Amino acid sequence: MSQQHDKIRAVEWREQCLWLLDQRKLPHVEEWLRLETAAATADAIRDMVVRGAPAIGVSAAFGVVLAARARFAAVGAGWKQALEADLAVLAQSRPTAVNLFWALDRMRGLIATLVDAADPTQALLDEAQRIHDEDIAANRRMGELGAALIDGPCNVLTHCNTGSLATGGYGTALGVIRSAYSQGRIEHVFADETRPWLQGARLTAWELVTDEIPATLLAEGAAATLMKQGKVKWVIVGSDRITANGDVANKIGTYSLAVNARHHGVKFMVVAPTSTVDMALTSGDDIPIEQRPQSEVLSLGGQRIAPEGVNAWNPSFDVTPAELVDAIVTEKGVVLSPTAEKMAQMMSQGD
């Protein structure tokens, strides 16, 4: 795989600390934050310094390393019990991204095997780095599988940010786009601006420009007209949680895209690692949807844009029913027209 379209990383472990590229300041300022505690990591997740379900999971894993190191230095053999408070803080940072809980559960599994009297830092760091490396490898595999579904050359539409900034590296939906563009299957990418945080405008557009992939930005309200004019063949998005029947929670506005895509005969692809699949939830009705502050809708760039006295409704995610999804792509394989049976079969691969 050529590195021409894969220059970006947003989560790093160096100098014995977690470093995050502050995505709130992109694209104008590239500033890295040094994090030394679990509390600081949880704040960074909650405050959108880092976002995207896989990137949140990777960051939380490194947050556990920071917490365990500090607890062992403070109390020695009692570090496991003391660590519970830090794990709770990390778990409360974002409620919808299942990768957060998946990563914490994986770190908990290792913690259970460690000796209470020994320093756990290196063992936990090795596990966090494995989670990071595995995420990048999974993204590259999904890139290959998803690209193979696209008969090109064609144009595609994406929503929110699903690239290197949202993952350990390379990306989920944007990873498919990177792979397909490298293979000549995609000619041009249309990116929704993604209100209210403008991840498409600030982050996806920045990634595409940085990696030299032709891109055009549009308000999501223009997407239906774009489809009606026949300018895109695929909508390609990521996910923060997928349920056992194939329902998909993703950034608010995704459901509208799926409805519009089906009406206009445009294919709809969801790309996410199996760590995003929550087989414990029967359907999308069971997914907790994060409600974020009204101020995010009432203001833009710190400047209020709505009149005083009006309220705002600000769900961070919506749920797209499985019947509107043409393909779910994971590192374990592709599920076409997902059903509960097909999802279970895919999840059992490699077990």
DSSP-derived letter for residue 221 is G
DSSP-derived letter for residue 269 is E
DSSP-derived letter for residue 316 is S
How far apart are alpha carbons 239 and 318 in whole angstroms?
Answer: 10
Whether 240 is a known active-site residue: answer yes
How far apart are alpha carbons 208 and 219 in whole angstroms?
Answer: 17
Evaluate whether 274 touches 309 at the Cβ level (below 8 Å). Answer: no
DSSP-derived letter for residue 164 is G
What single letter denotes the amino acid at residue 274? T
How far apart are alpha carbons 234 and 151 in whole angstroms?
Answer: 10
User: What token pair was written down for 209?
Assistant: 């420009």
Active-site position among 6, 192, 211, 240: 240
**Could you tell me how far CA 308 lies from the centroid of its own chain?**
34
User: What token pair was written down for 331?
Assistant: 């590192």
Strand-strand pairing, 215-218 and 234-237: unpaired
Evaluate whether 313 touches 289 at the Cβ level (below 8 Å). Answer: no
The residues annotated with a catalytic role in the active site are 240
